[in-house]
Amino acid sequence: MKLAGSSALIVQNKGGGHGELGFHLAKQLRAAGCTVTLLNDGQPTAKPPFDHYNELEQEYVDIVWTDVKAQRDLSSVLKGKTFDLVFDNWSKDEGTVRPIAEFAKKNNVKHYMYVSSGGMYQPTGDEFPILEKTKVKDDSGQRQVEKTLEAMKVPWTSFRPQYIYGPYTNKRDYLDFFFDRVTHGLPIPIPYEGATLTTLTNAEDVASMLISAVGKQYAIGEVFNCASDRYISYEGIVRMVAKTVGKDPSEAVKSIVYYDPKRAALPKGAFPFRNTHFCVNPEKAKLLLDWRPQHRLEDDLKWYFAAYRSLGKLAGQVDTSADAKAIAARA
């Protein structure tokens, strides 16, 4: 199946870690000649990426706002439209996916792409990076969605992204944690050691991976890790951020305070990543989908910092309410 001349439905959530994916999917699908309808949960808002939806409308993307959970029959809100493709960036459990999956089956959708989550993995800590066969939380909502799509015999493919950043992101925690402390000359609390590895992935690369599965029959029923193929340490992020803002990276790392998270008892989200290595391996997608990431974090930090400044964050107050606890629990 070719994208040009096909029709796609994107079901988009209200925001969060995957909040900008609908925008980037719509842009890339339209560029490929696909007709796009974006069904967005909730009501219009002035927050990114939704405040840039006028760009999509200029490219003839049909945007429909609704309470998705309240729509037991999507045919009505979508005015009888039919689609070749569904990109589901909304479902979180069996109950939420079932109406969308039923709509897809009723309309003979050829391929159903589901944005799952790498957060379901339960690595033992003995072997990294994380592969698709790594143990998962079988009762997680996203895993239940995958099982439901399989049971309903929907032609599905699931993608498990990790930490996402990108243009028009509405979840800035991952990188702002470091920019806040480096630019303001504050201590940088990091659990255990700075060599801990993770991945940060541009939302445009996530969108391109989803689209790369279209037309590939062998991708149906498969799960793909969805992330950059470059792993970075927490100390490496500090160095990159320092270089980006014009500070000496070797001096910036002197501000790192390593702490024992078991002793610190920090609130959830105080540190934006896990306390241990957590990086999913995208080699399966590279091999089977012929996909390659086009972005590098080090390059992207330049425009990210420009956006950070434009938001007035250089002069803003930094929430360091949890930092004192971390510093008191030095490793």
Task: Give 156-210 pLDDT, tens digit per residue.
Answer: 999 999 999 999 998 999 999 999 999 999 999 999 999 999 999 999 999 999 9
Stretch 262-266: mean pLDDT, rounded? 91
**pLDDT value of position 185:** 96
Q: Which two tokens stand for residue 168?
A: 């028009």
CA distance 264 to 327: 8
**pLDDT value of position 15:** 85
Domains 7-166+202-226 and 173-199+231-279+296-328 share a fold: no
CA distance 244 to 252: 12
Nearest to 177 by CA among 195, 167, 191, 192: 191
Quickly tell me which residue has 């990276």 as its tokens.
249
Judge whether 296 and 304 are in contact, CB under 8 Å. Answer: no
CA distance 281 to 180: 29
Please count the CA atoms within 13 angstroms of the CA of 53 that sit on its side-chain side.
23
Q: Tens of pLDDT along 4-53?
A: 999 999 999 998 878 999 999 999 999 999 999 999 999 999 999 999 99
Type of residue numbered 73: D
The reply to whether CATH 3.40.50 applies to domain 173-199+231-279+296-328 is: no
- Return the DSSP state at 112: E
Per domain, the residue ranges of the chain are 7-166+202-226, 173-199+231-279+296-328
**pLDDT value of position 126:** 74
**pLDDT value of position 89:** 98
From residue 57, alpha-carbon distances to 30, 68, 278 in Å are 11, 20, 37
Q: Tens of pLDDT along 283-326?
A: 999 999 999 999 999 999 999 999 999 999 999 899 999 999 99
Q: Give helix 203-212 / helix 21-31 axis angle, nearest 10°.
A: 50
Decide the pairing of beta strands 111-115 and 188-191: unpaired
Query: Is residue 228's pLDDT more than 80?
Result: yes
Q: Tens of pLDDT along 84-120?
A: 999 999 999 999 999 999 999 999 999 999 999 999 9
pTM of the full structure: 0.96
Contacts 24+ apart (CB under 8 A), 211-215: 211/3, 211/25, 211/28, 211/29, 211/32, 212/285, 212/289, 212/290, 212/291, 213/111, 213/113, 213/157, 213/289, 214/1, 214/3, 214/6, 214/85, 214/111, 214/113, 215/1, 215/2, 215/3, 215/111
Q: Tens of pLDDT along 55-81?
A: 999 999 999 999 999 988 899 999 999
The reply to whether CATH 3.40.228.10 applies to domain 7-166+202-226 is: no
Nearest to 98 by CA among 69, 120, 78: 69
pLDDT band at 241 (very low <50, low <70, confident <90, very high): very high
Nearest to 142 by CA among 114, 165, 169, 166: 114
CA distance 212 to 16: 24
**pLDDT value of position 331:** 75
Cα 240 from chain centre: 21
Q: Which two tokens stand for residue 207?
A: 């969108």
Query: Is residue 328's pLDDT more than 90?
Result: yes
**pLDDT value of position 91:** 97
**pLDDT value of position 1:** 76
